[in-house]
Amino acid sequence: MPKSSTDRATAPESVWLASGRHTGPAPQNVLRDNLRKLKAAGTIQDFLEAENSAASDEHVFEARWLVADAVTVRARLTTDPREHADEERRWTLAAEAEGPWDAAWPSPATMFWPEDSDFSWDHDRVEGLRLRDINPLPKEDAALRRLLRDAARHSWSINVVVHEAMTTDDRGRLPLARLLPPGLRHRVVEHRAAPEQFQAVNWALYDVGTRVPRGGAVILPGTPARLGYDEQDFSVRSVFLDGSEPTELLDKVVRYAALPWPLPEEAAEALNALRQDWHLLTLEEELAHARSLVDAYAEALDAMTKSRDLYREATERAHAALAEIKELRGTASSALGTSRRQDGRSPHPLAKTIQRVTDTMRARRTPSDDGESRPDR
């Protein structure tokens, strides 16, 4: 049975998580080339491609950089084994800063992937959805319902459904992501419903437990739902798609991103892997790690020595106790033999006691055969 939101660990404030798909060939080559360029330009401090013995077709990259001139960010990106014949790969990115994450910081996605739109890495983990772009909803009702259900259940992104009150022109077809802080641009999927799809989209959203106002927008709760989510707080009654900045909607996307996020199982695994399988250490970190190993070995050796001494002491006490028992057994056996060899001139105290009891009983017996007269009848 799936865990409820309250049963799951929530993402720490210092963590940035995202998952998407790369639709082209050899994503590891794209990553490797871009990381080299970023390191040469000083954008990142260092990177490495870590070994992964679990799957030969899986690639793991680590990178480290500074934000706000002093805050270190460590990030780990994994490309999963190929799932489809067209070499499409799912990627997962977990990043953690030394302090609470600021949405104004650069997106960790751009610390691995090139921002050039010619590369096909910026697809959501749910097939058919694009990051940093507008995703028109399918015209066919079944496909529409299936897409929104999958987005609500499986996407790690912030899914925003916008209903167009009227057919938009070029000004209204600008994606929302361009106006978001850098740290959110690769974590938002924007769905667009055409004017005539109002009833169909709300019929599809019935399964999700929310609805979109006519000419407005709503942010989907996700699965598991973010703690503190309320449909009224994260819906907008009117969104003007005229090229102006939809301030209210942008503000609600930022507030939604700050809600505690109960981590899906794969996201929790990605965070654990970042923390526990990290290999890209600085010289100071390597020295600290070596010192911690030396301390751990010293503690183990001390515990083993104390255990050995305690064992030796316990053994000595056991041998001493055993010697005492043997001595007591010998004394008891000797005393018993002596009592059995004693003669009548010096009777055993127990024999004397028995004799006294016998004499007393004989004295108290009523004489019947010694010639005394019997009472007359």
Lowest-pLDDT choice from 62-71, 82-91, 128-137, 278-287: 82-91
Mean pLDDT of the chain: 85
Task: Report the amino acid identity of residue 204.
Answer: A
Paired sense of beta strands 89-97 and 15-22, if any:
antiparallel
pLDDT for the residue numbered 290: 67
Please state the φ and ψ torsions of residue 303, each to the nearest 5 degrees: -65, -40
Lowest-pLDDT choice from 25-34, 81-90, 287-296, 365-374: 365-374
pLDDT tens, 292-314? 777 777 778 778 887 887 888 88
Paired sense of beta strands 134-136 and 59-67, if any:
unpaired
On the question of pLDDT at 349 being above 70, the answer is no
Higher pLDDT, 30 or 376: 30
Identify the H or E element spanning 60: strand 59-67
pLDDT for the residue numbered 315: 87
What is residue 218's DSSP assignment?
A: E
Q: What pTM, to 2 d.p., does this model score?
A: 0.75
On the question of pLDDT at 144 being above 90, the answer is yes
On the question of pLDDT at 22 being above 70, the answer is yes
Average pLDDT of 34-59? 85
- Count H helices and E strands in the chain, helices first: 7, 11
Residue 123's SS3 state is strand
pLDDT tens, 187-213? 999 999 999 999 999 999 998 999 999
On the question of pLDDT at 156 being above 70, the answer is yes
Q: How confident is the model at residue 361 (pLDDT cuts 50, 70, 90)?
A: low
Q: How confident is the model at residue 341 (pLDDT cuts 50, 70, 90)?
A: low
Token pair of 227 as six digits = 């703690």
pLDDT for the residue numbered 304: 81
Beta bridge partners of 124: 20
Higher pLDDT, 58 or 165: 165
Average pLDDT of 10-20? 96
Q: How confident is the model at residue 344 (pLDDT cuts 50, 70, 90)?
A: very low
Residue 62's SS3 state is strand
pLDDT for the residue numbered 29: 92
Q: Give just the sign of the alpha carbon dihedral 316, 321, 322, 327.
A: positive
pLDDT for the residue numbered 62: 97
Paired sense of beta strands 188-193 and 134-136, if any:
parallel
pLDDT for the residue numbered 308: 80
Paired sense of beta strands 89-97 and 123-124, if any:
unpaired
Task: Report the amino acid identity of residue 6.
Answer: T
Q: Could you tell me how far CA 257 lies from the centroid of its own chain?
A: 20
**Domain-by-domain residue ranges, the chain?**
5-276, 293-330
